[in-house]
Structure 1
Amino acid sequence: MKDTYNTILKPTEEVLFKDKNSKFFGYAFPVSSEEEIKTLLEQVKKDHHAARHWCYAYQLGTEEPNIQFRANDDGEPNNSAGMPIYGQIQSFEVTNILIIVVRYFGGVKLGVGGLINAYKTTAQMALEAADIVTRTINKLFLIHCDYKNINTVMRIIKEKNLDVTNQKMELDCEITISVRLKDAPAIFEQFDHLFEIDIKELD
Structure 2
Amino acid sequence: MDFLTIENEVESEYRIQRSRFIGFLFPIKNQDDFYNKYCNIKKIYFDSTHIAFAYRLIDKGNNIVEHYSDDGEPAKTAGYPLLYILKQKKLIQAGTLVVRYFGGIKLGTGGLSKAYSTTLINALNSVELMIFQKRIDIKAITVNDKQYKLVEICKKLNANNLRIEYLEDRTIIYFTIAESNLEILKNKLNFDRDIEINII
Normalised by the size of structure 2, how large is the TM-score?
0.70
Summarize the Cα distance change of 1:158–1:188 in structure 2 as closer, same or farther, 3 Å threshold.
closer
Deviation of 1:139 after TM superposition, in Å, equals: 2.5
Aligned residues: 190
Instruction: Report the Cα distance in structure 2 between the residues aligned to 1:27 and 1:139, rounded to whole angstroms.
Output: 29
CA contact (8 A) 1:45 1:54 kept: no
Q: Mean Cα displacement is larger for which, 138-147 or 157-166?
A: 157-166
Which of 171, 174, 179 is residue 173 of structure 1 equivalent to? 171
Tell me, which stretches of 5 or more residues in structure 1 are unaligned?
A: none
Tell me, which stretches of 5 or more residues in structure 2 are unaligned?
A: none
How do 1:69-148 and structure 2 match up within 5 A?
Answer: 69-92=66-89, 93=91, 95-108=93-106, 110=108, 112-128=109-125, 130-132=126-128, 134=130, 136-147=133-144
CA contact (8 A) 2:57 2:92 kept: no
Paired AA for residue 42 in structure 1: K
Instruction: Report the Cα distance in structure 2 between the residues aligned to 1:121 and 1:107, rounded to whole angstroms.
Output: 18
How do 1:181-196 and structure 2 match up within 5 A?
Answer: 181-191=179-189, 193-194=191-192, 196=193
Paired AA for residue 177 in structure 2: V
Normalised by the size of structure 1, how large is the TM-score?
0.69
Summarize the Cα distance change of 1:71–1:30 in structure 2 as closer, same or farther, 3 Å threshold.
same
Aligned-residue CA RMSD (Å): 3.6
Summarize the Cα distance change of 1:23–1:180 in structure 2 as closer, same or farther, 3 Å threshold.
same
Instruction: Report the Cα distance in structure 1 between the residues aligned to 2:73 and 2:169, rounded to whole angstroms.
Output: 63
Paired AA for residue 45 in structure 2: V
Which residue number in structure 1 is paired with residue 199 of structure 2?
202
Deviation of 1:103 after TM superposition, in Å, equals: 4.8
Cα deviation 1:170-191 (Å, max 9, x = unaligned): 4323333443221112323554
Larger Cα Rg: Structure 1 or Structure 2? 1
Give % identity. 16
2:5 is the counterpart of 1:10? no
Paired AA for residue 141 in structure 1: I
| 3-state SS in 2 of match to 1:42 | helix
| 3-state SS in 2 of match to 1:102 | strand
Instruction: Report the Cα distance in structure 1 between the residues aligned to 2:44 and 2:124, rounded to whole angstroms.
Output: 20
